[in-house]
Structure 1
């Protein structure tokens, strides 16, 4: 149930961004990505990832989104800097991280001291 809540929060909060690091690809098959992802600059991708992170973390920890500005900023920067060109392209196409990007995103969750999704 927590995973479904996590998925719903991430999907509603800007479309299956990096905050969906814990979700499997099969759970996201029906998701339709935001078409603007394909042409969005990297700075916009980072903003989307940061905002989705804050929404998901706030719901998981039952606290205000604003309390996650710094750690989610860390998460978004760390994750996007770790991704290679093909992982970013996959994210732009699908709206969520592929398996190799997901592993990097989970590492960023840990290094930025955020709670991992269940």
Structure 2
């Protein structure tokens, strides 16, 4: 049950980020260009599962996009708000699909359970 709730929470985060992004006027081309950028962090797995998990988790914490949104808001820089919202949308859809934060044991081991087939 907690995993289902976390997936619902991820879907809600995705929906909220999309709704907010629609109001900041940054354009959907930028959204499409940046939505998968956080997954570049998976390249860390080339150095092994421990470093891979660290890199992936660092790029998939909500604290970083929230910080960018706050900086963008108080600095009146709308593109930063847009980038932060795109990043949040990415994290939200990942969580909704079951791709949680990774454990160092393997890419498949996440805080939402194992991903893929056993």
TM-score (norm 1): 0.27
TM-score (norm 2): 0.27
- Rg (Cα) greater in structure: 2
Greater fraction of residues in strand: 2
